[in-house]
Structure formats: C-alpha cells, structure tokens
Amino acid sequence: MARTDEAFMLLALAAADDAAKVGDVPVGAIAVVEGEVVARAHNQKEALVDPTAHAEILLLRDVAERLGRWRLPDVTVYCTMEPCPMCAGAMVQARIGRLVYAVDDLRAGAAGTVFDIVQSTVLNHRVAVTRGVLAEDARAQLDAFFAAVRARRQAKLETAGRAEQTPSQMADTGQNGAESGAESGKL
C-alpha cells in the first residue's frame, strides 16, 4: 500500500516533536526511497551545540551513510518547515529528487519563499518541490513551541525582577503574599 505525502509528513511532525521535547525548534525531516522511510532526523542545534545541526543536514548525512553514496536523486525529503539556505544548498549538492515541506519560512525560506536555491537555474541541479502539506499542523506545532518559550522567558524575567526587590518594595506591590497597608485599609 502506497503512503501519501500526508502520511509521510505525519512522521516528520513526530520527529519534530522529538526536537521540541529537548528544547530545540520543532523541525523534523524524513527521507523516503521507493516508498520506504530510510532515515529520520530532527533539529539538534541546542543538544549538539552546533549551528549546522538542522534536521535536513543531519538527515542528508544519515541517508548518504546508509545508502553509501552522496548522490541522492531517488530520495524524497519530507520536512516540517521550508529549508533555510544552508539546507537547501545541501539538498542541491546531494541531488535530492524531491522536497515536500509543510510550512513556509517567511524569514529564511530557500525553497521559494524568500530565496529559491532549490530551483535556481544557475545551479547544476533543481529539486522538485511540493509545498504546504499539513501546513496547519506544522504551524500549530511551531506556534505552541514558541509560546512556551516566551512564557518561560517571561516567568524567568518576573522571578528575576522579584528577586531584585527589597522586602519593603515587595510589600508595596503586594508580591510578598501579604496585603500592603493601603490594601488592608490600615492607612
């Protein structure tokens, strides 16, 4: 039974969840050859302390090693987010046959949104692209991750701000758990 683009993208979304669980931006990717998944990766920039540890780069390295070759024209890459210039360039270099991605990257997308490295006529290879597969799911995943990051950052700032206050400042703002004199009606 042939799997659909949506079924493969669900696997990439699951890989993206793995990235989010360890504090990395939830981008996941899978590689498919002749209808079979041959590799899976997710962002690991934070975990590996490596600015190049994007899901797509890690995936291409793994696929090339597993297949024993760097030319990958029979590979379809499913990625939850449009590749950046680095990743798109690596896909061209690997001669990837097809790229399927979920959500556009409005800041650095290099598969047609900001740049179009994968279809550039000045390069020696062009990658076929399918855009928007399960885009709403991928967008929701990214939005939830960044909302949690912002909430943690805000909580940290608030905690740091309270730690810098003196007990009398905390009493004046009611942050010490007791009412200030004005609030209790004793003034």
Active site residue ranges: 56
The CA distance from 160 to 125, in Å, is 52
Cβ atoms within 10 Å, residue 125: 15
The CA distance from 57 to 138, in Å, is 19
DSSP string, 52-92: T--HHHHHHHHHHHHHT-S--TTEEEEEEE---HHHHHHHH
The CA distance from 167 to 75, in Å, is 63
Q: Which two tokens stand for residue 177?
A: 């758990």
Q: Which two tokens stand for residue 138?
A: 């991928």
Give exposure, 81-105, as e/b (b: 16+ Cβ within 10 Å): bbbbebbbbbbbebbbbbbbbbbbb
